[in-house]
Amino acid sequence: MAKRKSKFVCQSCGYESPKWMGKCPGCHEWNTLVEEVVASSTKRGNWTSSAATIHKPEKISQIQSQEEPRIKTQMQELNRVLGGGVVPGSLVLIGGDPGIGKSTLLLQVSSQLAESNVDVLYISGEESIKQTKLRADRLNINSDQLYVLAETNLVDIVNQIDAINPGFVVIDSIQTVYKEEVTSAPGSVSQVRECTSELMRIAKQKHIPIFIVGHVTKEGSIAGPRLLEHMVDAVLYFEGERHHTFRILRGVKNRFGSTNEMGIFEMKELGLVEVLNPSEVFLEERSQGVAGSAIVASMEGTRPVLVEIQSLISPTSFGNPRRMATGIDHNRVPLLMAVLEKRVGLMLQNQDAYVKVAGGVKLDEPAIDLAVAISIASSFRDQPPQADDVLIGEVGLTGEIRRVSRIDQRVQEAAKLGFKRAIIPAKNMDGWTPPSSIEVIGVESVQHAIRETLGQS
């Protein structure tokens, strides 16, 4: 009897080892190597091919370019994140926390495409057909062109795709699908890699867009090896706070569009509803005339979003003051406080600082620095800035206000929402024409910005 061969594969990075190790040499994670049986093959690969299957290289100047028609969904937010719509033959991976709304989003998209005379095959590996029907009833989804299949065997899934020949396929989720030839358990590195490769082949050959759902780890990244994200055409993250009804769809990889786009949805009783003007939503509950509040115009892809930044500065009761931040990088708060203390003269070393981005949104661009600094100074002085001011700019360590990108779109969004003044970097004053309804003030330093917004102390 032949001896069974096995290998140990890291479930995080895909590193293979002939023996078990507690720590993976590839990604340095602990207890991630799992034993997998190596499938023995009695056939040798045939390296010869007929002349009919040989693809010869072509000159790029002689290749005819052709614009791919995109499939438009009724969700403008999803179309924006995908770069204008669903590309035929694309393989898209959607990840997110459990219960965040991934299945709800894809079931709504499937229903909309089915209503547009497109055959849709929704394959659920985690729910039965009756459970999927209950969700569809809650969302008022009922279409004759939406097919539902509860299956995890990849061979049966491929056979159903061949039989129905749908125009759109959803796999929920890739961690439940298995291939019989692979001896490891479903969700392992080998299974995810082989199943995704087979789905990629089907998408390209049959020109069918396939959406697959991926689980996420406790760190927030998609479970399985990073190879999974490299294989697909687009990677979307569906995120949001459990205590907020808003959900944010971000594109972190997209071969057919920008990777900086963001779509905002609101979870309601009848499913996800897209938010077309997120600035009004984020600002509808703000308190005017309160110290520690500042408005910033942040860019999320090609869309400007106005968000409120709140700060609370209070004397500390401990030897080491606390620095807490929600919605922004926590390392940015002590950095900006050090600039205010050194360049402006605010004694913040014995003050606790709590900074929050209202609405549950996360901001990570440098243009929010000025608004954070002004909100901290406003709370420390207990002096509110003007309610119709919007602040835009990056703060350097020497206290200068540095140039930011797309200043015209940010200011136009602020003017559209009724703001009267925009405090921007002085280097951004030239090369564009601001709207007549808003006054634009260029500042060169943090001291200058504080004088314009809070006045002399």
- Tell me if 98 is assigned to a ligand binding site: yes
Any binding-site annotation on 162? no
Q: Is 100 within any annotated ligand binding site?
A: yes
For 382, other C-beta atoms within 10 Å of its C-beta total: 9
Half-sphere exposure of 437 (CA within 13 A, CB side): 10
Q: Are 426 and 370 in contact (CB under 8 A)?
A: no
- Is the pLDDT at 229 greater than 50, yes or no? yes
Residue 101 in marked binding region: yes
Q: What confidence score (pLDDT) does residue 44 get?
A: 42
**Res 228: pLDDT:** 79
388 labelled ligand-binding: no
- Do 251 and 258 meet the contact criterion of CB atoms below 8 Å apart? yes
pLDDT higher than 90, residue 203: yes
Enter the CATH code of domain 70-276.
3.40.50.300
For residue 200, pLDDT beyond 60: yes
Euclidean distance between CA atoms 17 and 189, whole angstroms: 13
421-450: average pLDDT: 94
| pLDDT, position 456 | 67
Instruction: Output the pLDDT for position 64.
Output: 82
Check whether 97 is labelled as a binding-site residue.
Answer: yes
Chain segment 148-175, per-residue pLDDT in tens: 999 999 999 999 999 999 999 999 989 8
Contact 225, 12 (CB under 8 A): yes
Q: What are phi and psi of 367, to 5 degrees?
A: -70, -10
Is residue 102 marked as binding? yes
**Which pLDDT band, with edges at 50, 70 and 90, does 242 fall under?**
low
Q: What is the spatial distance between Cα 92 and Cα 108, in angstroms, rounded to a whole number?
A: 16
Alpha carbon distance 289, 388 (integer Å):
10
Instruction: Report the range out of 55-59, 191-195, 242-246 with the highest average pLDDT.
Output: 191-195
Q: Is 251 annotated as a binding residue?
A: no
Whether residue 291 is predicted with pLDDT greater than 70 in this model: the reply is yes
Q: Is the pLDDT of residue 232 over 90?
A: yes
Question: What is the per-residue DSSP string for 70-90?
Answer: PB--S-HHHHHHHTSSBPTT-
Q: What is the mean pLDDT of residues 293-311?
A: 91
Does the global pTM surpass 0.95?
no
The CATH architecture that domain 281-454 belongs to is 2-Layer Sandwich (3.30)
pLDDT of residue 400: 96
Q: Which residues contact 10 (CB under 8 A, 6 or more apart)?
A: 16, 17, 24, 26, 27, 29, 32, 33, 34, 189, 225
Among 243-247, 312-316, 359-363, 419-423, whose mean pLDDT is lowest? 243-247
Which pLDDT score, from 0 to 100, does residue 39 have? 61
Please tell me the distance from the alpha carbon of residue 209 to that of residue 199, in angstroms, as a whole number. 10
Task: Give residue for tokens 């706070």.
Answer: 241
Rounded to the nearest 10 degrees, how much is the dihedral formed by the CA atoms of 37, 171, 241, 74?
Answer: 160
Residue 46 has pLDDT above 60, yes or no: no
Query: What share of the chain has pLDDT > 70, as a percent?
Result: 92
> What is the reported pLDDT for 357?
93
pLDDT tens digit string along 16-39?
888 899 998 888 888 888 888 776
What pLDDT band is residue 189 in, cutting at 50, 70 and 90? confident
Paired sense of beta strands 33-37 and 6-10, if any: antiparallel
DSSP-assigned letter for residue 36: E
Residue 97 pLDDT class (50, 70, 90 cuts): confident
Which pLDDT tens digit goes with each residue over 111-134? 999 999 999 999 999 899 999 999
Mean of the per-residue pLDDT values of the chain: 87
